[in-house]
Amino acid sequence: MTLTTFLVPTYVQMLKTLSGWLDKAQAQCSAADAEALLSARLAPDMFPLSTQIRFACVQAWEAVCRLQGEPFPASLDALLNEGRDAGERPGSIVDAKARIAETVALLEGLPTDALDMDASAAIAHALPNGMVLDLTAEQYARDWTLPQFYFHLMTAYAILRAQGVALGKADYVTHMLGHVRPGTLPAT
């Protein structure tokens, strides 16, 4: 398994899942209530749903840049700043779905070995508070970018559930339905 084959399919399938959750929210809520979900939070000191969506996308974009040894493009900084400001300007579900689609397109457009740097290569990951994490590429993928990605993804799921959107475990693992052995699906 390579870093590309480990990370890219994970990001793609889960970002598509996140987009599906937004579709379900739109289907279950009035247009105004669906848009209001973007400002919902789990706790007053947490970022809202709109930020969680953007930051999930940011994690995928950052990983691509870091693992290719490239500087962040201006579009990534813009997305990060949108996320930080989303409490004031949450945007719309159409905006959120567009950000997800842009990120998926970036990932799906990568060469099959795009992130396959030496797993022991050094990555210095500077955090906004001034701390710097010294990691290998493997540690960065396993211990930072995937956990951060899933944190924002699961926080988005939890916000939607807390706001009454009917999501369940099957909505979280829709990508697994293609692996169900014929004849083993429970009758409903």
Let me know if residue 44 belongs to a domain: yes
User: Is residue 134 in a domain?
Assistant: yes
Asked whether the whole model's pTM tops 0.75, one would answer yes
Residue 102 and residue 121: Cα distance in Å, rounded? 28
User: How long a stretch of residues is the chain?
Assistant: 188
In this prediction, residue 152 carries a pLDDT of: 97
Structure tokens at 173: 């693992």
pLDDT in tens, 21-47: 999 999 999 999 999 999 999 999 999
Q: What is the pLDDT of residues 3-26, one digit of tens each?
A: 999 999 999 999 999 999 999 999
Band of residue 128 on the pLDDT scale cut at 50, 70, 90: confident
HEC-encoded secondary structure of the chain: CCHHHHHHHHHHHHHHHHHHHHHHHHHHCCHHHHHHHHHCCCCCCCCCHHHHHHHHHHHHHHHHHHHHCCCCCHHHHHHHHHHHCCCCCCCCHHHHHHHHHHHHHHHHCCCCCCCCCCCCCEEEEECCCCCEEEEEHHHHHHHHHHHHHHHHHHHHHHHHHHCCCCCCHHHHCHHHHHHCCCCCCCCC
CATH at residue 93:
1.20.120.450
Q: Residue 152 domain-assigned?
A: yes
pLDDT digit string (tens) for 86-100? 778 888 999 999 999
104 assigned to some structural domain: yes
Give the number of domains in the chain: 1
Its domain, for residue 158, covers: 3-179
In a domain, 185, yes or no: no
In a domain, 184, yes or no: no
Quick check: 55 and 47 in contact, CB under 8 A? yes
Q: Does any domain span residue 188?
A: no
**pLDDT average, residue stretch 122-129:** 90
In a domain, 186, yes or no: no
